[in-house]
């Protein structure tokens, strides 16, 4: 996603999946993600900007299908204190269900 699109994100934008399903609305905007207001999901979700494909006409489109988006475990905000410049690592830090290739405990078990 381009920096221009990231700056276009603001509260109350509708968020749609790649299969054109309404996922919810942007509730809060952060440096590397946005909080998705409950819509499809029973719990809040933090969506990393890297999953945004476009921001047009008060609509945010993400590259995840409805099923893929519902399977993501991004229910906690990332750990900003320890990985300020690495958004992907921030999501690993909070156990969001993303495989961390740098996690020695996980790679030793594989």
Give the model's pLDDT for residue 105: 58
Q: Is the pTM of this model over 0.85?
A: no
- Residue 55's H or E segment, with its range, is strand 52-56
Pairwise CA distance, residues 3 & 91, whole Å: 20
* pLDDT tens by residue, 6-43: 678 999 999 999 999 999 999 999 887 899 887 655 67
Domains and CATH numbers, the chain: 3-109 (2.30.30.240)
């Amino acid at each position: 996603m381009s920096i221009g699109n990231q700056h276009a994100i603001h509260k109350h934008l509708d968020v749609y999946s790649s299969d054109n399903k309404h996922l919810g609305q942007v509730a809060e905007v952060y440096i590397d993600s946005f909080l998705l207001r409950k819509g499809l999901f029973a719990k809040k979700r933090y969506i990393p900007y890297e999953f945004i494909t476009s921001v047009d006409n008060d609509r945010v489109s993400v590259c995840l299908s409805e099923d893929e988006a519902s399977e993501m475990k991004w229910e906690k905000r990332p750990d900003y204190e320890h990985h300020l410049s690495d958004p992907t690592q921030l999501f690993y830090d909070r156990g969001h269900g993303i495989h961390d290739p740098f996690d020695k405990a996980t790679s030793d078990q594989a």
